[in-house]
Amino acid sequence: MNDEYLWDKSGPPDPEIEKLERVMGTLRFRAAAPVFPSAEQLAAAHRPAFSSRLWLRRGLAAAFAVTVVASGLGLFWRWKANVQAGWQVSQIAGTPRIQDKLLNATVKLGIGQVIETDGASRAEIEVTEIGRIQIDPETRLRVLKAPSGRSRLALDRGTIHARIWALPGIFTVDTPSARAVDLGCAYTLRVDSNGDGLIRTTMGWVGFQLADREAFIPAGAVCRTHVKTGPGIPYFEDAPETLRSALQVFDSPGSSQEDRAHALQTVLSQSRKQDALSLWHLLSRVDASERSQVYDRFAALVPPPSGVTREGIQALDREMLDRWWNSLDLGNIWLWRHWERSWSEGTQTAK
């Protein structure tokens, strides 16, 4: 055996190795080159605004990278097959029920089926390629029909803890007041008996949506949602108590105009640099007459990036708002726009 030829193809060729190369070369990797998204879609995230949130930036960069892969590699078909595997449900405590049957073994939860827990029971559902969801007591959860390649649950009431490792946008949870769209994250979602909800993100970020109203909740933040009005203003849990209370007043459907105006002033005066998260959302939730005040405070904390103007923001220019959001480094909003569009298209085709 010619060791040098085997090692680096130098020296006289070894006929036997040459034959092996020829025969085995037929198995060589020849998959088509991946198709990557356009440069416009992959516009890089802007300079970070919060230097102390390195961990968060890394997480979000990872989420962005996931999107690059999802779009670029054309792997979506692979997920389509996997997510149809079904939800494996198992009991953690007590006697959860699926429809009218007690859950006492691991079973598959199909489309349209309902799992309910009483005050003493808990359950867990998992799909290998999607993630794991723990179901707290007093919870009602349904599996909904979803566009191909996606997974969709409905939380009618109660609390779930989701840890999702699927691609962003694959997994959603509908509540009576908003849809939670996973963007690569772990979160807790609670819905009360009125249908109002609260989401708390512990890793990555989540999109919350009802019709045209949307909210983005990064790790460390929470967001309330109300029936009819939809997602409220997200805020970081370490925000000052006065600011958090003021935002709750601002969001509450029962608050008067005066209460809301007073709450807005409190938010503006109490907000820290990281509360730009809340200020960005406020820009599109306040009246036009109040928007310039929010702009001023936001701009003082996080200067608008190039191309973002007061006039544009006053007119709620979508592109400028998105660009300013990206400058916060809390998640590339292109990712959301991409999945929002694909969900919309997918929902239409799923019917």
Q: Contact positions toward another protein, by CB under 8 A?
A: 1, 3, 6-9, 16-17, 20-21, 23-29, 31, 33-34, 36-37, 39, 42, 44-45, 58-59, 61-66, 68-70, 72-73, 75, 78, 128, 167, 184, 332
In whole angstroms, give the CA distance from residue 98 to residue 114.
Answer: 6
Contact 72, 35 (CB under 8 A): yes
**Shortest CB 6 distance to another protein, Å:** 5
**Shortest CB 54 distance to another protein, Å:** 10
Which residue, 39 or 211, is less far from another protein as judged by CB?
39
Which residue, 37 or 86, is less far from another protein as judged by CB?
37
Which residue, 24 or 288, is less far from another protein as judged by CB?
24
| Residue 48, C-beta contacts closer than 8 angstroms, at least 6 positions apart | 57, 329
Which residue, 10 or 292, is less far from another protein as judged by CB?
10
Please report how the helices 318-327 and 276-283 are oriented relative to each other, as an axis angle in degrees rounded to 10: 180
Which residue, 8 or 311, is less far from another protein as judged by CB?
8
Q: Tell me the residue ranges of DSSP E strands in the chain.
A: 87-93, 97-98, 101-102, 107-109, 114-116, 122-127, 131-135, 140-144, 151-164, 171-174, 179-182, 186-191, 197-203, 205-210, 213-218, 221-226, 230-231, 235-236
Which residue, 16 or 287, is less far from another protein as judged by CB?
16
Bridge-based pairing state of the strands 140-144 and 221-226: unpaired
Q: What is the DSSP string of 213-232?
A: EEEEEETTEEEEEETTTEE-
**Shortest CB 93 distance to another protein, Å:** 27
Contact 180, 190 (CB under 8 A): no
Which is nearest to 218 in space by CA: 208, 228, 229, 231? 208
**Shortest CB 194 distance to another protein, Å:** 37
**Shortest CB 205 distance to another protein, Å:** 13
End-to-end Cα, the chain, rounded Å: 65
**Shortest CB 333 distance to another protein, Å:** 13
**Shortest CB 20 distance to another protein, Å:** 5
Which residue, 65 or 111, is less far from another protein as judged by CB?
65
| Residue 113, C-beta contacts closer than 8 angstroms, at least 6 positions apart | 98, 99, 142, 143
**Shortest CB 275 distance to another protein, Å:** 26
**Shortest CB 129 distance to another protein, Å:** 10
Residue 125 token pair: 């559902």
In whole angstroms, give the CA distance from residue 95 to residue 120.
Answer: 8
Which residue, 42 or 92, is less far from another protein as judged by CB?
42
In whole angstroms, give the CA distance from residue 200 to residue 217.
Answer: 8
Contact 31, 22 (CB under 8 A): no
**CB burial readout 166-184, b (16+ within 10 A) else e:** bbbbbbbbbbbbbbbbbbb
Which residue, 4 or 238, is less far from another protein as judged by CB?
4
Q: Which amino acid is at 91?
A: Q
